[in-house]
Amino acid sequence: MGNNHQYPPPPSLIRDGEEKNNPLSLWEREQLCEQREHTTAGEGHPSSGTMCHLLSHRGEWIKEILKRVQDDINISLKRTYSHINLFTYSPYKKAAFTLAEVLVTLGIIGVVAAMTMPTLINNTKNEELKTGLKKAYSIAQQALVMMSAYEGEVNSNYSVRTFAPLYLKYFNNAIFCGYGTSLNKPCAKTSDYKNYNNTSNINEAYLDDGQFLLPDGMIVFIQNENGTTDRTNTLCITIDVNGAKRPNKWGHDLFTFQLMKNGKLLPMGQEGTDFYEKECSETSTSSRNGIGCTYKALNDPNYFKSLP
């Protein structure tokens, strides 16, 4: 119990049987006790000044033991911790935090959450866009492989607006939305899209030669016209990897691929494409800024972490 009490030994020197067969007077018991105590003390056993008295009065011995046990219990229940600890022991209540402590803790958690949640949410969205881009590139290539198997050689030599209806057939359950720039749902208005750094609307001429919506929400745009001062004479496939949802920016969720003369589909910005190392700038206000970011987005591990 954490104290120095030494409980007296039980009255084993006088057995119950001895008391019944040899009833002794109180004086005789005390004399016998003293004789045996001197004998045991001479043999090196510890002696207690109250042992003989307790041996003669077992009821009083039991009371003494119970009293000392109760004293130990009382001392333990009164024990408290120092003032620097949070809790004070009590047998009648459970240890707990105070209301003030709980509110302070909740306040700290709220501040930390407010500081970290925007970053976590942004990182999650960027990972979704990165995954969407890889998926879009994969399904666009698969459709071209199937198209070449059934249609023969596939390359960039298609007459104006003839590529989209053929290409569409090799996507499962795709919905064709038509041509032009003013299409409504389920496809998107091309006027809703911005350039890479959000400084202007994009050049819609790269999106107006056929649109179709895929079952997972992606939107495919085709550029299949003769070149002008505003666009190159190139067959381009542009895909919005998360559909009509924001941010709707070139190089963020809108990515362009170029179908080459040899039939290969390359991410725009790769060497050999029309916008190799061009139109992917944080400062340019060009309406085509962002069209050349696709190759970098696929190969730079930090690309989506540093979007403007």
The string of pLDDT tens digits covering residues 208-258 is 999 999 999 999 999 987 655 555 668 999 999 999 899 999 999 999 999
Query: In the predicted model, is pLDDT for residue 175 greater than 70?
Result: yes
**pLDDT at residue number 302:** 94
Q: What is residue 15's predicted lDDT score, i.e. its pLDDT? A: 45
Q: Provide the pLDDT confidence category of residue 74 given band limits of 50, 70 and 90.
A: low
The answer on pLDDT for 84 being more than 70 is no
Mean pLDDT of the chain: 79
Q: Domain extents for the chain? A: 16-78, 131-306
- Nearest 5°: the CA angle 191, 193, 197 is 135
Residues 184-199 have a mean pLDDT of 87
Residues above pLDDT 70, as percent of the chain: 67
| pLDDT value of residue 13 | 43
Q: Which is nearest to 280 in space by CA: 307, 241, 240, 243?
A: 307
Q: Tokens 């001062």: give the residue.
A: 229
pLDDT in tens, 106-122: 999 988 888 888 777 78
Q: Which two tokens stand for residue 37?
A: 């105590």
pTM to 2 decimals?
Answer: 0.65
Is the pLDDT reported for residue 71 higher than 80?
Answer: no
Which pLDDT band holds residue 184 (cuts at 50, 70, 90)? low
Give the whole-angstrom CA distance, residue 200 versus residue 194.
Answer: 6
Both tokens of 289, joined, read: 């800024």
Share of residues in the chain with pLDDT > 90 (%)? 47
Q: How many C-beta atoms lie closer than 10 Å to residue 232's C-beta?
A: 17
Q: Alpha-carbon distance 56 to 40, whole Å?
A: 17
Q: Give 78's pLDDT tier (boundaries 50, 70, 90).
A: low
Exposed e or buried b per residue across 123-158, where buried means at least 16 C-beta atoms within 10 angstroms of its C-beta: eebbeebbebbeebbebbeebbeebeeeeeebebeb
- What does the pLDDT average to over 279-294? 96
pLDDT of residue 34: 60
Residue 174, both tokens = 């795709």
Query: What local confidence, expressed as pLDDT, does residue 122 receive?
Result: 80
**24 or 162, which is more confident:** 162
Range name among 59-63, 79-83, 231-235 with the lowest pLDDT average: 79-83
Q: Measured between alpha carbons, how far is residue 248 from residues 161, 185, 193, 201 in Å?
A: 24, 15, 5, 10
pLDDT on residue 47: 46
pLDDT in tens, 20-57: 444 554 445 556 666 665 555 555 554 444 445 544 55
